[in-house]
Structure 1
Amino acid sequence: MKFLAAASALSLAALPVMADSADPIKLTLHDWSGQLITTTLMGEVLKAGGHNVEYVQADYIAQFAGLETGDLHVAMEIWETTGREAMDAATGTGKVVNLGSTGMDAIEEWWFPSYMKDVCPGLPNWEALNDCASEFATAETAPMGRYLGGPVTWGGFDDERVEALEMDFEVVHAGTDAALFAELESAYQRKAPIVLWIYSPHWAPAKYDGEFVEFPPYSVECYNDPSVGINPDAAYDCGKPTGPIWKVAHAGLQESHPDATKAIVNFNISNADMGAMVAEVDLNGKSVEETVAAWMDANQDTWKAWLN
Structure 2
Amino acid sequence: MNKWKKELSFILVLLLVIVLTACGSTSGETKSEQTGVSDEELTIGQINWAENIAVTNMWKAILEDKGYNVKLSALNMGPMMMALKGGALDASLEVWLPVQDSNYLEKFQDTVNFSESTWFDNAKVGLVVPTYLEEVNSVEDLNEHKELFNGDIIGFDPGSGTMEVTDKLIEDYNLEFELIPSSEPAMLSEIKKAVENEKPIVAPLWSPHWVFSKYDLKFLEDPQNTFGGVEKIHHATRHGFEKDYPEVSEWFKNWKMDDQQIGQLIDYVESAEDPLEGAKKWVEENQELIGEWVK
Same fold flag (TM > 0.5): yes
Q: Which is helix-richer, 1 or 2? A: 2
Matched positions, count: 258
Specify the SS of the correspondent of 2:168.
Answer: helix
- Residue 153 in structure 1 maps to residue 170 in structure 2: no
Partner of 2:278: 291
Partner of 2:69: 52
Deviations along 1:51-104, one digit per CA (max 9) or x if unpaired, are: 23222222213311221221111101112252122024322x154241521135
Deviations along 1:265-290, one digit per CA (max 9) or x if unpaired, are: 112222222122223344x3543112
Q: Which has the larger radius of gyration?
A: 2
Query: Is the Cα–Cα contact under 8 Å of residues 69 and 95 in structure 1 kept in the other structure?
Result: no
Identity in percent = 20
Amino acid corresponding to residue 251 of structure 2 in structure 1: A
Aligned partner (choices 282, 287, 291) of residue 304 of structure 1:
291
Amino acid corresponding to residue 133 of structure 1 in structure 2: K
Partner of 1:3: none
Q: CA 1:288–1:105 in structure 2 vs 1: closer, same or farther (change >3 Å)?
A: farther
**Aligned pairs (5 A) from 1:11-160:** 22=35, 23-80=40-97, 81-91=99-109, 93=110, 95-98=112-115, 100-117=117-134, 121=135, 123-137=136-150, 145-156=151-162, 157=164, 158-160=166-168
1:42 Cα offset (Å): 1.4
Q: What are the ranges of 5 or more consecutive residues in structure 2 without an aligned counterpart?
A: 1-30
**TM-score, structure 2 as length reference:** 0.80
1:21 Cα offset (Å): 5.4
RMSD after superposition: 2.1
Specify the SS of the correspondent of 2:291.
Answer: helix
Query: Is the Cα–Cα contact under 8 Å of residues 133 and 168 in structure 1 kept in the other structure?
Result: yes
Q: What are the ranges of 5 or more consecutive residues in structure 1 without an aligned counterpart?
A: 1-17, 138-144, 219-237
Partner of 1:12: none
1:105 Cα offset (Å): 2.9
Specify the SS of the correspondent of 1:111.
Answer: strand
Provide the rounded CA distance (Å) in 2 between the counterparts of 1:294 and 1:20: 32
Partner of 1:264: 252
Query: Is the Cα–Cα contact under 8 Å of residues 74 and 248 in structure 1 kept in the other structure?
Result: yes
Q: CA 1:43–1:104 in structure 2 vs 1: closer, same or farther (change >3 Å)?
A: farther
Moved over 6 A (4+): none
Aligned partner (choices 205, 216, 237) of residue 198 of structure 1:
205
Query: Is the Cα–Cα contact under 8 Å of residues 268 and 281 in structure 2 kept in the other structure?
Result: no
Provide the rounded CA distance (Å) in 2 between the counterparts of 1:20 and 1:261: 16
Deviations along 1:157-209, one digit per CA (max 9) or x if unpaired, are: 22232133211111112x22111111111110111111112221112223222
**TM-score, structure 1 as length reference:** 0.77
Specify the SS of the correspondent of 1:72.
Answer: coil
Provide the rounded CA distance (Å) in 2 between the counterparts of 1:258 and 1:20: 11
Provide the rounded CA distance (Å) in 2 between the counterparts of 1:133 and 1:127: 11
**Aligned pairs (5 A) from 1:246-261:** 246-261=234-249
Provide the rounded CA distance (Å) in 1 between the counterparts of 2:71 and 2:274: 18
**Aligned pairs (5 A) from 1:160-199:** 160-173=168-181, 175-199=182-206
Specify the SS of the correspondent of 1:150.
Answer: coil
Query: Is the Cα–Cα contact under 8 Å of residues 64 and 86 in structure 1 kept in the other structure?
Result: yes
Provide the rounded CA distance (Å) in 2 between the counterparts of 1:131 and 1:24: 54
Query: Is the Cα–Cα contact under 8 Å of residues 155 and 183 in structure 2 kept in the other structure?
Result: no
